[in-house]
Chain A
């Protein structure tokens, strides 16, 4: 507290406030102003974007439907030991009858049925069938009446599934998303020939790596040429890169759809040139070839632009120095120039890879069945099978993969260095 004695002699502003206090106040005001400027967008993004993502995370583990539709049954099932090998006691059947009576009136029993059907096929029809009869059930002896309504109620596995999914949260969707299921003996992976999602994740990765590699292969010479030409001609050629970049994604996809068809421009030209026979036209579309060609074209500018910006900063004197010291053209390029372009390759590759593993439109239109990605499966579950929980779980896994890559991108390039056009 030795400062107190010096307080009188400390610097003050004109109106007598100590300078320190005054500066602190001004700083605080600036901070608040900066925050206020950011606040509207922050709130907007929070509502329109972050909340939806959070909702997806929540839906991937949420399992509210069973406990909220069959509340009494869930409570009654707690005393039943699912490993005992016997059917649940009479009280459970009574509770289920009471729950189903309420649920059939609200017509929610079919939703529980289709939810549990993801875990054990057949439960959906079981619930629908029983729902029609449960209104006529008499008091007492419920076990018998249920068994009479449908023999499947005597299957212990049905009860095990109901008990397993009676908690408000579940890992079931995530397990399904990696082709596994929860059984009484723990987690079990499906046999290889039944795996859908791991296979699709694998294919998404392999195709994305192929696309990234072909982008490097095609983008590197272009970026090299553009960076070595004089400004005027490189600006002209740059238009050839930027025009595809700016053209609508659907325009480019429809162009490829037109070009790659069996009766399309490429096949026609090849037949005309006599390279392939008219009866052996190449199948270029609705398979992996179509996806790879179209997506390489679409993502190529994202490889060229970062490579170009790195190559432009490399001074040509390094190459000249290497050559003057006796290096051959190739040696000078490989040992002096190429290592300096690796940051550009890294940045471009991660960018292309991130964009490509989440692609939906192009694989959907030109990929057929063998060229589709995991995102097409997510869309399928949202629009057609209506298994939103599984769609959310697949989405969360894909998001996690992208986030890891994004973090790497941030480490290598820095998100502030993203350049457009």
Chain B
């Protein structure tokens, strides 16, 4: 399907272009909702649709007032602060525990591997509403409901499966004889880990950490149940905004979040390329 042969019949040509057209429509469906909110966030009115001024590209139809609102409103600023303080803590917990566990799980002599793996991956499989319900019940028993620590713990638990999956995938390409070589040359296990193994699996660890970060940064269901008003995060604020008093400030926030996702996606792509290049160089 990549290109038409010169002998293609009329029917084949028609189908070829029809197929491309259909695919174009589906791509449009995928990307349009995300692109459309960007111009709408510069709307000078408090509307959710294009005003006649905007359609005629009149500068008066556009303004930064929704962005101003985001940066001056105490509610949104508090939400931003909470998001920025919860997500990194959860990421550090998830990446630290997850990387160690992935190294352990990749060793050939790990007992009960599949059972342990299934349990550690389970936070990714269980629907969020069920995790949220269970955590709400249990954390209120042990006094963690409505606390910063409780939310961080919950988010770290939800993020670890991604760290395990990405780090394990990187370790598949890791040559174990490098560890033996280091030991043979007199390095102790700690030195071997930080000087030999860690630099090589770093791309996997970083992309796992990015997944864990975005999991926590975007998460709303669990924090909705577990958090109290002082843990209100950005997605939570957006959720209440969408449900109750719908204000175009949400679109400004959404645009900022899209910019963050583009940044993350670029970072991940660069890391993937680097890791592929490195893996091409490693023997075996």
Given contacts A240-B27, A243-B261, A246-B261, contact A256 B127 (CB under 8 A): no
Contact B239 A357 (CB under 8 A): no
B210-228 Cβ-contact flags toward A at 8 Å (1 or 0):
0100100110110001000
Contact A250 B220 (CB under 8 A): yes
Chain A residues with CB under 8 A of B218: 248-250
B168 contact set on A, CB distance < 8 A: 416
Chain B residues 253 to 268 lying within 8 A of chain A, measured CB to CB, are 254, 257-258, 261-262, 264-265, 268
Query: Which of these, A35, A55, A354, A375, contacts B104 with CB under 8 Å?
Result: A35
A297 to B30 Cα, complex, angstroms: 6
B interface footprint on A296-320 (CB within 8 Å = 1, 0 otherwise): 0100110000000000000000000
Which of B30, B126, B238 meets A254, CB within 8 Å? B238
Contact (Cβ within 8 A) B33 A297: yes
- Kindly list chain A residues whose C-beta atoms are within 8 Å of the C-beta of B214: 246
* B209 proximal to A (CB < 8 A): no
Q: Decide if B125 touches A379 in the complex (CB within 8 Å).
A: no
User: Contact check: which of B12, B103, B123 meets A49 at CB < 8 Å?
Assistant: B123
Task: State whether A42 touches B119 (Cβ < 8 A).
Answer: yes
The answer, yes or no, to whether A205 is at the interface (CB within 8 Å) is: no
**Inter-chain pairs besides A243-B34, A248-B258, A259-B33, 18 sampled, C-beta below 8 Å:** A31-B109, A37-B107, A44-B153, A45-B160, A52-B137, A55-B138, A56-B137, A218-B29, A225-B20, A228-B2, A241-B30, A249-B220, A254-B250, A255-B34, A268-B49, A358-B128, A361-B220, A379-B129
| B110/A248 in contact, CB under 8 A | no
> Cβ of A30: which chain B residues have Cβ within 8 Å of it?
107, 109
Rounded to whole angstroms, the CA-CA distance of A146 and B83 in the bound complex is 56
Report the minimum CB–CB distance from B26 to chain A (whole Å): 5
| Complex-state Cα separation, A237 to B26, whole angstroms | 12
A87 interface residue per 8 A CB criterion:
no
Give 1 or 0 for each of B156-180: 1 = CB within 8 Å of chain A CB: 1100101011101100000000000
- Say yes or no: B27 contacts A248, CB within 8 Å: no
Residue A382 is within 8 A (CB to CB) of chain B in the complex: yes
Q: Is B278 an interface residue (CB 8 A)?
A: no
Decide yes or no whether A196 CB sits under 8 A from chain B. no
Q: Can you list 17 A-B pairs with a CB-CB distance of less than 8 A?
A: A34-B105, A34-B107, A41-B164, A44-B93, A48-B135, A56-B137, A221-B23, A224-B1, A229-B2, A240-B27, A240-B31, A244-B33, A257-B246, A379-B132, A420-B165, A420-B211, A421-B268
Separation in Å of the B31 CB from the closest CB of chain A? 5
Interface size on A, residues (CB 8 A): 91
Chain A to chain B: the 6 pairs with minimum beta-carbon distance, closest first: A358-B127, A37-B104, A52-B134, A52-B138, A255-B33, A41-B101
A395–B137 CA distance with the chains assembled, in angstroms: 12
Contacts of B129 in A (CB 8 A): 358, 360, 375, 378-379, 395, 398
Query: Bound complex: CA of A49 vs CA of B272, how far in Å?
Result: 30
A244 to B130, Cβ gap below 8 A?
A: no
What's the minimum C-beta distance from A155 to chain B, rounded to whole angstroms? Answer: 33
The answer to whether the Cβ of A364 comes within 8 Å of any Cβ in the partner chain is yes
Q: Report the bound CA distance from A51 to B128 in whole Å.
A: 15
- CB A42 to nearest CB in B, in angstroms, measures 7
Of the residues A31, A51, A222, A357, contact of B111 by C-beta under 8 Å: A31
A406, closest chain B residue (CB): B125
Measured between C-beta atoms, what is the minimum distance from A56 to chain B in Å?
4
For B, the interface residue count at a CB cutoff of 8 angstroms equals 94
A31: chain B residues within 8 A (beta carbon): 109-111
Q: In the complex the two chains form, is B1's CB within 8 Å of A225's CB? A: yes
Residues of A within 8 A of B125 (CB): 354, 402, 406
Q: Using a CB–CB distance below 8 Å, which chain B residues touch chain A?
A: 1-2, 12, 15, 19-20, 22-23, 26-27, 29-31, 33-34, 36-37, 40, 47-50, 93, 97-98, 100-101, 103-105, 107, 109-111, 116-123, 125-139, 141, 153-154, 156-157, 160, 162, 164-166, 168-169, 207, 211, 214, 217-218, 220-221, 225, 235, 238-239, 242-243, 246, 250-251, 254, 257-258, 261-262, 264-265, 268, 272
CB < 8 Å neighbour of B36 from A59, A259, A360: A259
Is A264 among interface residues, defined by CB-CB distance under 8 A?
yes
Evaluate whether A255 and B254 lie within 8 angstroms (CB atoms) in the complex, with A45-B119, A263-B49 already known.
yes
- Chain A residue nearest to B40 in the complex (CB): A258
Partner of B118, one of A224, A329, A358, A415: A415
Contacting residues, chain B, for A246 (C-beta < 8 A): 214, 261, 264-265
**Residue in A59, A259, A360 whose CB lies within 8 Å of B137:** A59
The CA of A310 and the CA of B51, in the complex, are separated in Å by: 45
- Decide: A252 near B133, CB < 8 A? Known: A354-B125, A398-B127: no
